[in-house]
């Protein structure tokens, strides 16, 4: 019985994450309260129903890929090479939050350079076009990839667990943050509070407007969490801050 529960656990967790982090925000913003959130919309035009069904179709395959990678990490001999530790006292408790932060920085670097690779003219049609068919992203765009790109996206988990030790709770927390931030980036609405614009976080973090511009304009704004690599490599859209201010100003109308 215990073994059966353990086998079903990665399936249950990945499905629940998708429902809580992607489906529920979609229902809340797009279905239940569209009039209230209208002023938060980044692009004026609405997402077509056909686009949503296409994104949902590909999202289901991505969830299956994520389940497969979870099973790979938990149940195959690969786990012997990964630095997951079961005893929370094996490292000082401070390492728990630090390991999540470290994983986020590793993920951000991995994603930026993977993203640049996916936009290479010979690679893009094969690996990345499905994702960029969504020029006006929605929460489902966050999981809308072809199978090959889904695998590349999902491999960040075993890569991080190969590089740094993480308690299993920290690993779950990291994945939760990663998916939540991915959904926020593809939300199609800018929901950060007004104070965010004048804080140091605005200069540091990727926003929904930031990534929305990437989908609308195709090149530039490649970052996942941070604008660091975009700044260093000169790939930030020069009018990003003006666009952000325009979206924020609509909320005062």
Q: In the prediction, which pLDDT does 7 show?
A: 65
Q: Cα(115)–Cα(108) distance, rounded to whole angstroms? A: 10
Q: Six-digit token pair at 214?
A: 């990437």
Q: In the prediction, which pLDDT does 11 show?
A: 80
Q: In the prediction, which pLDDT does 152 show?
A: 96
Report pLDDT digits (tens) over 172-216: 999 999 999 999 999 999 999 999 999 999 999 999 999 999 999
Q: Cα(103)–Cα(231) distance, rounded to whole angstroms? A: 21
The sign of the torsion formed by the CA atoms of 126, 67, 27, 139 equals negative
Report pLDDT digits (tens) over 89-110: 888 889 999 999 999 999 999 9
- pTM for the full predicted model: 0.94
SS3 assignment, position 167: strand
In degrees and rounded to multiples of 5, residue 189 shows phi and psi of: -135, 145
Which positions of the chain have pLDDT values less than 50?
1-5
Q: In the prediction, which pLDDT does 102 show?
A: 98
Q: In the prediction, which pLDDT does 253 show?
A: 65
Length of the chain: 253
As beta bridge partners, residue 167 has: 85
CB distance 226 to 205 below 8 Å: yes
């Amino acid at each position: 019985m215990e073994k059966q529960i353990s086998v079903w656990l990665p399936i249950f967790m990945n499905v629940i994450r998708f429902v809580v982090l992607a489906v529920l925000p979609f229902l809340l913003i797009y279905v239940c309260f569209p009039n209230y959130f209208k002023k938060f919309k980044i692009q004026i035009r609405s997402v077509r129903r056909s686009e949503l069904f296409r994104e949902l179709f590909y999202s289901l395959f991505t969830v299956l890929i994520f389940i497969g990678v979870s099973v790979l990490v938990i149940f195959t001999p690969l786990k012997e090479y990964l630095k997951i530790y079961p005893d929370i006292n094996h490292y000082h408790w401070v390492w728990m939050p630090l390991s999540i932060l470290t994983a986020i920085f590793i993920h951000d670097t991995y994603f930026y350079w993977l993203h640049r690779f996916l936009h290479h003219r010979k690679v893009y049609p094969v690996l990345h076009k499905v994702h960029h068919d969504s020029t006006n992203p929605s929460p489902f765009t966050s999981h809308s990839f072809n199978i090959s790109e889904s695998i590349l996206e999902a491999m960040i988990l075993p890569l991080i667990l190969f590089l740094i030790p993480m308690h299993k709770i920290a690993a779950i927390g990291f994945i939760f943050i990663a998916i939540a931030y991915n959904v926020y980036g593809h939300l199609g609405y800018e929901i950060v509070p007004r104070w965010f614009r004048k804080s140091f976080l605005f200069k540091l973090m990727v926003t929904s407007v930031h990534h929305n511009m990437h989908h609308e304009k195709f090149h530039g704004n490649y970052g996942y969490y941070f604008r660091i690599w975009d700044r260093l490599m000169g790939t930030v859209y020069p009018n990003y801050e003006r666009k952000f201010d325009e979206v924020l100003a609509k909320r005062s109308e």
